[in-house]
Each structure stands twice: as structure tokens, then as C-alpha cells.
Amino acid sequence: MAARAAEPSATPGGAAGALAVEWFAAYGDFLKCAADQSTSTIGLYQQLLDRIVSGELAPTATQDLLAAFVRDRGTTYSDELGRLNARFFTEMVRIGTAYAHELGQAVLPDAAMPPAPPPAFDAANPAAWFQDLSAYSQRLGTSIAATYQTLVERAAAGEVAPGQVQEAAAGFLQRRLLEYVGDLARLYFALLNDLTALRVRSEQEFLSGALARADGGRDGRFELGLTAPVGETATASLAISNTRDEVARIRCHVTDVRRGDAVGPAFAPDVAVVPEPLELAPGEEARLALMLRLDEASYEPGVLYVATLHITGHGEPRLEVPLRIAPTAPVATSAE
């Protein structure tokens, strides 16, 4: 008794206190991280306000740029948001599955084991993943129901005493309930941190791109510029790396090109991406070369054209790189 009393974590009150401390610490870390990220974002907002006050930037500039940003980058951030939510719900199902079956085995040691782990989220086919998760939930419910049905039948046959079931369930809850709640709390704070990071990253990308455009420059994180005389080929390149621990197979696609002022119809570009497809080993980095033919029938000198480069890799959300195409006047040649 003395040895157990000396350990706060061995008592329900001590475990609850330790869990409360962990929650407050996690919440404090979340607030600190959010504050640090917001500080850097506020700095970018202040720079934009300074440009507007000094007359270097029109008050409506951010509204005009926001529509283009949402069009060019919205899908990427939507995919990332879907991935975060899918991971959250998948982990909730996994934690709930383990808890339910542990409880079942506590009162019925020979209960059936749970089905395989929940299906991993497939960013390339979220609809199919959701169907797989629904089917998994049905199998899970069937497994849990079978366990409790067996327990009821044994209790009715007198093989298991009601007091024995209550005692086993109470002991399990005393041992595992706080751990279960703690797992859910950690999962929740992880989601909060990821959502905050996603929001801040999108804000900073937009603001940095807006400042770069206000300066008349190019921000590689915001867009990729291609410039060449009409009739020639514009080229650009970007580095891409594989941060996963498995081989990544990279594919690229350029959307239809249209004028930046939305005049006229969109058209398919005469473009090549080299190398295509690209295979990267874990940790490997390579450079993609983009070559766009600016034919006279499609491009007009001095007019801005836009498109988007889609980069897809194995198991990763699609990366969208906006393209700004600026044809110049054709190079004059002397007559023979």
C-alpha cells in the first residue's frame, strides 16, 4: 500500500492530474506557436498597408490578386485540408477501435480480434477512400456487436456472472479511460496545430506573392515566369525533391493557357516538361525544365498569359505552380 501511495500516477486522481497538466502544456504550446506564426503574418500585412498608404499599391490590389491566388492555389490547399481531416478521422477510428476491443477482451478474454487497421487516406482518390472507411466501420461494428452478443449469451447460460462482467469493465475503465481521453486530446491538438500552420502558410504565400508583384518582381513560391519573343520557345526550371521515405514517381501537366485579362478563349499549350515522367529516390532532388513554344497564332506580344503547372507525386497532394507567360516582340531579322 505504501509503495502504491507514493506514486501519484498509480491512483486515478494522480493520473487525472498528470493528464490535466499535459493538456494545459499542449494548449500552451499551441497558443505560443499560433502567436509566433501570426506575428510574422502581421508583419507582411503591415508591409502591404505601408505600400497602400504610400500610393505604391492600389487599395483594391489585394482583392484582385486574391481571386487569382484562389484559382491557382486553392485546389492545393483544399487537398491539404482534406488530407488533414482524413488523418484526424482515421486516427479517431483507430483509437476507438482499439479501445472498444480492449474493453471487449477485458470482459471476454477470448473475444475476436479487431479487423485490419483503417484504410490509409488516398489523396488521389478520396471518394474511394471514404467508401473503404465506411466499409471498415461496418466491419468494425459487426465485430464489436459479435463480441457483446457472445457475452450476453454466456451470461444467459450462467457461464459468466454479471458481477464478474461489471468488475472487469470497471477495472478496465479505471486503467484505460484516462489514456483513451489523452490520446484523443493529443490528436485534437495535433489537428489544431496543423490547421493553424496551413492557414498561416496560405496567408504568407499570398501576401509574399502580392508584395513581389507590387515590386514588379517574381516570387518563385508564388509563380513561375516564362518570357521569350513570339515565335520562339520560353524556358523555365524548378527544383523538386522527394521528402518521403519511398520512391516518388512525378508527373507534370500544364493546363490550358488564357489571357490574363480573360479576353478570348483558352487554348492548349505547345509545351514539354523534361524529364517526364520523373522518378526520385528517397531524399533525392532533381530539376524540371519547362519549354513552352510561343507560336505567332496563339500569343500576342505585350499581353500577359496565365496557366498552371500541376505536379503530382506518389501519395502527395497535387502541387500547383502558377505560370505567367509574357511574350515579347519577335526578334527582327535582316532581309536577304
- pLDDT of 7 > 50? The answer is no
Q: Does 333 map to a domain?
A: no
Residue 184 sits in which domain range? Answer: 2-214
Q: Does 316 map to a domain?
A: yes
User: Are residue 276 and residue 323 in the same domain, yes or no?
Assistant: yes
CA-based diameter of the chain, in Å? 108
Q: Which of 303, 220, 316, 317 is nearest to 257 (CA)?
A: 303
User: Are residue 242 and residue 260 in the same domain, yes or no?
Assistant: yes
Q: Which residues contact 296 (CB under 8 A, 6 or more apart)?
A: 230, 231, 330
- pLDDT of 290 > 80? The answer is yes
User: Are residue 231 and residue 195 in the same domain, yes or no?
Assistant: no
Give the domain CATH number at 262: 2.60.40.2310
35 versus 89: the higher-pLDDT residue is 89
Say which DSSP state 123 is in: T
The structure's pTM equals 0.48
User: Are residue 321 and residue 192 in the same domain, yes or no?
Assistant: no
- Assign 116 a pLDDT band (cuts: 50, 70, 90): low
Q: For the residues 3-10, what does the mean pLDDT come to?
A: 38
Query: Percent of the chain, pLDDT > 90?
Result: 10
**pLDDT tens, 239-276?**
777 777 788 888 888 999 988 877 788 999 999 998 88
Q: Which residues contact 203 (CB under 8 A, 6 or more apart)?
A: 41, 44
CA 237/CA 226 separation, integer angstroms: 10
Domain boundary among 162, 194, 214: 214
Q: What is the count of structural domains for the chain? A: 2
**pLDDT tens, 209-248?**
777 665 554 444 456 888 889 999 998 888 777 777 788 8
**pLDDT tens, 182-217?**
888 888 888 888 888 888 878 877 787 777 665 554
Provide Rg for the chain, Cα atoms: 29
